[in-house]
Amino acid sequence: MTIKVAVAGATGYAGGEILRLLLGHPKYLSGELEIGALTGNSNAGQHVVTLMPHLPQLADRVIEETTPETLSGHDVVFLGLPHGHSAEIGSQLPEDTLVIDCAADFRLKDKQEWDRFYGGTWAGSWPYGIPEMPGHREELQNAARIAVPGCFPTGATLAVLPAVSAGLIVPDIAVTSITGVSGAGKKAAVPLLGSETMGSLKAYNTAGKHRHTPEMEQNLSEYTDQDVTVSFTPVLAPLPRGILTTAIAPLVDGVTQDVVTKTYQGFYEGEPFIQILPEGQQPQTQHVVGSNLCQIQVEVDERAGKLLMTSALDNLTKGTGGAAVQCMNIALGYEETAGLPQAGVAP
């Protein structure tokens, strides 16, 4: 049986990354997975070679308009659309179609949080696509609807979750994430111009304003009875892609570095896309570019009585497109690592 896949929003950064990964997927190479409709909005009618020349296998394909009619008839539909558009399209697709949404429309379980940070109609929540969160891999198996996590919550959740789950910290967490400009999407905007970003760093949506804050709190709250608070500060850096996250929280009395190290190693044992780095080695975005890997380091700050948790990932791969393909693999019963590189691009 051949699985037919469509990508809505194919010319955006998320859609382009999904296509890059699908073109190297063993099921595509064997002919068992077919790339069907590629859709867009303002780019409809244009050829892929003009918009995404880094995908030569699809050069002659034409971008179609994003409509339920175009997307229906596919076994898998990836939605790489702006927030607020996925719910309308997703509701019109057949129930037996695997729909994987890269926007925020189905991530939040709390309507009040949705109203506060996004607004508009709350569409509910779908199974949440961080397989490394205990219990979530099982929810994704045979799922027909999946919400891909935000890139910031992915890095923060993976860095902090073992400490919260094991009760190593007081879950009053300060998170700072330094991100490349591709995280804002492909839209034209003055603050994202090269002349505005090169040689400069800028914090934005500070002091609880960023939309990914409630997603982080939601994820971590699943694994503790304590109230979880996250103070999140995103920082824009002159990078094409990558997120470096640091998280700091008060350490519970008596917790040592040895306990922390063993906890993290045990928590992520067997996870193909998590690498706990050796003592003294810090995660770097350059080591995960193009890969679906998340590197993590965790350190006890004895003087301050805090735990420092650091992660690095590629926001377009493990943070978006790679996560989407990983979820597809799980839902369809494919090898979870299929088509997903663990090795980064260096130098």
Catalytic residues, by residue number, are 151
**C-alpha to C-alpha distance for 19 and 99, rounded to whole angstroms:** 16
- Least Cα distance to 224 among 133, 140, 334, 320 occurs for 133
Task: List the strands of the sheet with 76-79, edge to edge.
Answer: 64-65, 33-40, 3-8, 76-79, 98-101, 145-147
What 3-state class would DSSP assign to 120? Answer: coil
Pairing of strands 306-313, 243-250: antiparallel
Taking phi over 0 as left and psi of -120 to 50 as alpha, with beta for the rest, 242 belongs to left
- Least Cα distance to 317 among 346, 345, 291 occurs for 291
| Contact in structure between 268 and 323 (CB atoms under 8 Å) | no
